[in-house]
A and B are shown apart, each in its own frame.
Chain A
Amino acid sequence: MIKNKKVKHILRKGIKEISHYVFFPKNRIGAEKIISVYWFVILIIIAGAVVAMVSLFYGSPYDVRVTEANIMINQVSNCLSQSGELNKNLFISENSEKKFNENFNLLEECNLIFETKFENAVGEYFLEAEFYDLNNERLFSISEGNSNLKTDCKIAEGEKKYKRLSKCVDREFYSLDSENQAYKINILSVVRKTEKNVK
């Protein structure tokens, strides 16, 4: 017989709890159901992340504007100068004086076409050729296309890079006229085409 009141109290409480434990046994079924739902949530998160990665990578188009600008410069340089000699149509003789031809049309002479049938095409190209002497003094310049694109080149030189800006490429080379006088020619080519090259 247990006489100690404290021990009696503890035993009574224990028996109540044990009987409760026997009739309402705790098992892991409830926990497992929650875990399986959780597992599906994890799978959905992973699937969503994979779809996001795929759309991020394959959704962005290839940007070929730099290549296009370089090809344009090559074509124009070939048209302005061949084997180190400037195109004769660049010069006119006025009063027995040799001058640069102001009416030299870059598009016609170099077989270029800047217009397209696309609806939103608002001048996708800009082309400029500048002629300098060997003391870096500018003598002459010709340009074709959308001149507003030239400002994009100055913005692009800054620290922050803006994706939707036009791509600018400028290159220089030397050439001679028929009198063996040397000129430095700087060609700037700007390609906009952001709809087809930037997401």
Chain B
Amino acid sequence: MLNKIFNKRGQASESMTWIAATLIIIVLLGISIYAASLLSKLKIIDYETEERTQDIIMEESLFSYFSIKDSDVQSKIFKSLEKMNQEEKFYEDFNSKFQQIKFNLEKNEK
């Protein structure tokens, strides 16, 4: 019974709880700080991932493709452009632009 009065285990367990809580808080804050540093890297404005409505470089290539009279040269350039499209070097949809320019040229010819 006297042991129960002078039992200090309750006091010790309270401080242990606080130490554990402090460690958890520090770990969570560390994760938040790391997350904030990762988010700061989103501040790199990437030209490619933004939605683009026009790719001037690709259109120049397409205009020159349609202006070429030599069919061998034309097919060579088209293969190269398709390869560039597969390597995702264009910022706009290559096939739809190709079809659009082709349609407009045929329309003008008529």
A73 and B57 contact, CB distance less than 8 A: yes
In chain A, positions 22-56 with a C-beta closer than 8 Å to chain B are 31, 35, 38, 42, 45-46, 49, 52-54, 56
List of B residues within 8 angstroms of A54 by Cβ: 36
In chain A, positions 157-193 with a C-beta closer than 8 Å to chain B are 169, 171-176, 180, 182, 184
- Majority-rule SS of B interface residues: helix
List of A residues within 8 angstroms of B32 by Cβ: 49, 53
List of A residues within 8 angstroms of B104 by Cβ: none
Whether B46 is near chain A, meaning CB under 8 Å from some CB there, is: yes
Q: A49-B29, A180-B70 are in contact. Are A63 and B60 (CB under 8 A)?
A: no
B2 and A77 contact, CB distance less than 8 A: no
**B8's closest neighbor in chain A, by CB?**
A26
Q: A64-B45, A67-B47 are in contact. Are A52 and B64 (CB under 8 A)?
A: no
| CA of A62 to CA of B25, assembled, Å | 31
Q: A49-B29, A74-B56, A173-B57 are in contact. Are A134 and B67 (CB under 8 A)?
A: no
A85 and B47 contact, CB distance less than 8 A: no
A176 and B11 contact, CB distance less than 8 A: no
B33 and A52 contact, CB distance less than 8 A: yes
**A81's closest neighbor in chain B, by CB?**
B60
A66 and B29 contact, CB distance less than 8 A: no
List of A residues within 8 angstroms of B39 by Cβ: 57
Contact count band on A? 35 or more
Most buried by B among A18, A45, A53, A66: A53
Whether B9 is near chain A, meaning CB under 8 Å from some CB there, is: no
List of A residues within 8 angstroms of B48 by Cβ: 66
For the A-B complex with A17-B6, A171-B89, A174-B77 known, give 12 more contacts whose Cβ atoms are closer than 8 Å: A18-B2, A52-B36, A53-B33, A57-B39, A63-B43, A64-B45, A66-B47, A69-B47, A74-B57, A77-B57, A174-B81, A180-B67
A contact set with B: CB distance below 8 Å: 14, 17-18, 21, 31, 35, 38, 42, 45-46, 49, 52-54, 56-57, 59-64, 66-67, 69-70, 73-74, 77-78, 81, 83-85, 134, 169, 171-176, 180, 182, 184
- Majority-rule SS of A interface residues: helix
List of A residues within 8 angstroms of B43 by Cβ: 60-63
Q: A57-B39, A61-B43, A171-B89 are in contact. Are A46 and B29 (CB under 8 A)?
A: yes
List of A residues within 8 angstroms of B81 by Cβ: 174
12 A-B pairs with CB atoms under 8 Å apart are A18-B5, A38-B22, A42-B22, A52-B36, A57-B40, A63-B43, A77-B56, A84-B62, A176-B68, A180-B68, A180-B70, A182-B64
List of A residues within 8 angstroms of B22 by Cβ: 38, 42
| B45 in complex: contacting residue of A18, A31, A67, A74, CB < 8 Å | A67
List of B residues within 8 angstroms of A46 by Cβ: 25, 29
